[in-house]
Amino acid sequence: MASTNEICEHLLRTPPPSATAIAYNYLVPNVKGLEGLVRIMDDTGVSAAGGSSADKASTTTEISVFTAATEAFSKANTNCTIAESLERIRPIVTQALSHNIRVRGYVSVALGCPYEGPNVPTSTVTDITASLLEMGADEVSIGDTTGMGTAPRTMELLNALRAAGIANNDLALHFHDTYGQALVNTIVGLEHGIRIFDSSIGGLGGCPYSKGATGNVATEDLIHTLHSLGMHTGVNLEAMSKIGDWISGELGRANASRAGKAILAKLQD
Amino acid sequence: MASTNEICEHLLRTPPPSATAIAYNYLVPNVKGLEGLVRIMDDTGVSAAGGSSADKASTTTEISVFTAATEAFSKANTNCTIAESLERIRPIVTQALSHNIRVRGYVSVALGCPYEGPNVPTSTVTDITASLLEMGADEVSIGDTTGMGTAPRTMELLNALRAAGIANNDLALHFHDTYGQALVNTIVGLEHGIRIFDSSIGGLGGCPYSKGATGNVATEDLIHTLHSLGMHTGVNLEAMSKIGDWISGELGRANASRAGKAILAKLQD
């Protein structure tokens, strides 16, 4: 398997052709990681917002920084307290912004923690989210890492974020379907006015610090749900379903997308 | 595998002990099937409402009769037109009622047909539902056999049923999770006032006439959702999750319940 730097360099140098702009997002754990990314960008002649000179319209580069909503998870996942993780993140954000690199913050275990249980205080989540935005993060993704989130608690958290003065368009929602609630919670988010939702094709992923955690909600299931509500995503769901099945096969995993599998079964009729 | 009659006789003669009443439901395709059931009930000394004399509180006996919301599915599933299937059902209902046996009607493919597509006319579903209730069916289960149902179309159908004068408490909803919409559609049903939902443990089931169709929504996922909304079901979800995993293993199938698997993973921590 190629190293992160190799993958990063490959994508920056020869971005796959695309009809629409794609934002490649790199997880940056510390300032050194950011410096490495900036060096590769400089070497390959890529500017953050514009893509490579060869294919200006198709790629942008952005970074992700991670923190968590509980001390126990922060310790397990990043080996530091929440406050320490925010202090690690601050210079990354500052430097990224100085290079015009877009920053996405993540708040893990916002709706349930494998160590501290389902009832994560909403005030902790709103405080961390506000800190990330004040540092300059362009967007914060609220992560239900364990999939423990329920419709009522998702609603409560979104109301708390609104009450704290945080705008809907500064937020994304990131649901795992571990308990089958991802799409129900997505509907709660949509009704609240959130329009950015994380997902992974074929439901790939998981979390080593959250036992039994499955991947993000499958992109195919999310897109099917959005289309079923009459929303436009610009995504070709048939093509997406084929890709999800292909990558699941390559990785030797079961395809976790229900809509994807149903669409493919129908195509084979 | 035991024949339906053997299973039926076994359950009627020696119902498994239960703290609460259980309704055993038998699919009855024709009058002959009902006569067979009544004969077994007579032989075993079981009355429909009261259970066997040995265990009066624990069992009741009811029957199911099936029809479909599209002509093409009716032809494939029961080899007759919708009108013919209703005429077959009428004497079954009449005779069942004369024996005090509760009758449940099913309308298959109410939110999408493998042959005729997703847009099944709501008027067809309301007409069939009204016919079944007028014949004397105690309850009609509206079946999304293909899982094509979406939140907006579920809402539209429930509104059409209400407009046709059909009471919520004469209805049940029966969702398959083939496209991942079962719980979203359940929420739509709950908000509309429906309180009876079909499900199957571990998501067992399927439909031979609907390619790619998975089983009913998993009971564990449904119960977890209801509990997450603060509703009381009286079901021990941990015990239910263990049963779902056990029966999936016995049948050599993957456990299709996400909540069930997540709960079991947590218990193994």
Q: What is the mean pLDDT of residues A32-50?
A: 81
Coil, helix or strand at residue A195: coil
A152 and chain B in contact, CB less than 8 A = yes
B155 and chain A in contact, CB less than 8 A = no
Coil, helix or strand at residue B52: coil
Higher-confidence residue of B57 and A32: namely A32
Q: What is the mean pLDDT of residues A261-266?
A: 94
Question: How far is Cα A23 from Cα A20, in angstroms, rounded to an integer?
Answer: 10
**Chain B positions in Cβ-Cβ contact with residue A230 (cut-off 8 Å):** 152
Structure ipTM: 0.89
Range name among A174-183, A191-200, B16-25, B236-245 with the lowest pLDDT average? B16-25
Question: What pLDDT score was predicted for residue B164?
Answer: 98
Cα separations in angstroms, B120 against A90, B154, B166, B185: 55, 11, 18, 16
Fold classification of B4-217 (topology level):
TIM Barrel (3.20.20)
Question: How far is Cα B34 from Cα B57, in angstroms, rounded to an integer?
Answer: 23
Question: What pLDDT score was predicted for residue B209?
Answer: 65
Asked if B258 lies within 8 A of A152 by C-beta distance, the reply is no
Closest Cα in chain B, distance from residue A214 (Å): 9
Whether A58 has a pLDDT exceeding 90, the answer reads: no
Whether A8 has a pLDDT exceeding 50, the answer reads: yes
Q: Angle A189-A193-A198 (CA atoms, 0-180°, nearest 5)?
A: 50
Minimum CA–CA partner of A231 in chain B:
B152
Domain layout of chain A by residue ranges: 4-217
Whether A90 has a pLDDT exceeding 80, the answer reads: yes
pLDDT band at A56 (very low <50, low <70, confident <90, very high): very low
How confident is the prediction for chain A on average, in pLDDT? 91
Give the pLDDT confidence of A184-211 residue by residue, as tens digits.
999 999 999 999 999 999 999 876 666 6
Asked if A151 lies within 8 A of B259 by C-beta distance, the reply is no
Whether B230 has a pLDDT exceeding 50, the answer reads: yes
pLDDT band at A19 (very low <50, low <70, confident <90, very high): confident
Closest Cα in chain B, distance from residue A127 (Å): 25
Give the total residue count for chain A: 269
Higher-confidence residue of B23 and B73: namely B73
Q: What is the mean pLDDT of residues A117-127?
A: 97
Asked if A228 lies within 8 A of B181 by C-beta distance, the reply is yes
Range name among A55-59, A77-81, A201-205, B207-211 with the lowest pLDDT average? A55-59
Range name among B17-21, B100-104, B109-113, B186-190 with the lowest pLDDT average? B17-21
Query: One-letter amino acid identity for B2?
Result: A
Q: What is the mean pLDDT of residues B17-39?
A: 87
Question: What pLDDT score was predicted for residue B1?
Answer: 46
Asked if B187 lies within 8 A of A187 by C-beta distance, the reply is yes
pLDDT band at B57 (very low <50, low <70, confident <90, very high): low
Whether A52 has a pLDDT exceeding 60, the answer reads: no
Question: What pLDDT score was predicted for residue A85?
Answer: 97
A230 and chain B in contact, CB less than 8 A = yes
Closest to A259 (Cβ–Cβ): which among B179, B258, B269? B179
Closest to A180 (Cβ–Cβ): which among B212, B221, B230? B221
- The alpha carbons of chain B give a radius of gyration, in whole angstroms, of 19
Show the tokens assigned to A108: 């893990």
Question: What pLDDT score was predicted for residue B13?
Answer: 79
Positions of B marked catalytic: 207
Whether B206 has a pLDDT exceeding 90, the answer reads: no
Closest Cα in chain A, distance from residue B148 (Å): 9
B229 and chain A in contact, CB less than 8 A = yes
Question: What pLDDT score was predicted for residue A75?
Answer: 95
Range name among A100-109, A174-183, A239-248, B13-22 with the lowest pLDDT average? B13-22
Whether B103 has a pLDDT exceeding 80, the answer reads: yes
Using the structure block, give the residue that is written with the tokens 């490495």.
Answer: A36
Closest to B152 (Cβ–Cβ): which among A183, A184, A229? A229
Given a contact cutoff of 8 angstroms between Cβ atoms, the answer to whether A202 and A255 are in contact is yes
Minimum CA–CA partner of B231 in chain A:
A152
Whether B23 has a pLDDT exceeding 70, the answer reads: yes
A229 and chain B in contact, CB less than 8 A = yes
A177 and chain B in contact, CB less than 8 A = yes
Q: What is the mean pLDDT of residues B36-57?
A: 69
Q: What is the mean pLDDT of residues B27-47?
A: 87
Question: What pLDDT score was predicted for residue B211?
Answer: 66
Helix or strand run (H / E) with residue A171: strand A171-175
List the 55-114 stretch of A: residues with Cβ below 8 A of B. Answer: none
Question: What pLDDT score was predicted for residue B2?
Answer: 59
Question: What pLDDT score was predicted for residue B219?
Answer: 98
How confident is the prediction for chain B on average, in pLDDT? 91
A245 and chain B in contact, CB less than 8 A = no
- Buried residues in B96-114 as b, exposed as e (16+ CB within 10 A): bbeeebbbbbbbbbbbbbb
* A:B CB pairs within 8 Å: 92
Question: What pLDDT score was predicted for residue A1?
Answer: 46
Distance of CA A105 to the CA centre of its chain: 9
Paired strand residues for A64: A27, A104
**Chain B positions in Cβ-Cβ contact with residue A257 (cut-off 8 Å):** 180
Percentage of chain B lying above the pLDDT 70 cut: 91
Whether B149 has a pLDDT exceeding 50, the answer reads: yes
Question: What pLDDT score was predicted for residue A175?
Answer: 97
* DSSP 8-state class, residue B269: -
Question: How far is Cα A80 from Cα A60, in angstroms, rounded to an integer?
Answer: 31
Question: What pLDDT score was predicted for residue A237?
Answer: 97
* DSSP 8-state class, residue B117: B
Question: What pLDDT score was predicted for residue B21?
Answer: 80
Whether B215 has a pLDDT exceeding 90, the answer reads: no
Asked if A184 lies within 8 A of B225 by C-beta distance, the reply is yes
Give the pLDDT confidence of A140-170 residue by residue, as tens digits.
999 999 999 999 999 999 999 999 999 999 9
**Chain B positions in Cβ-Cβ contact with residue A238 (cut-off 8 Å):** none
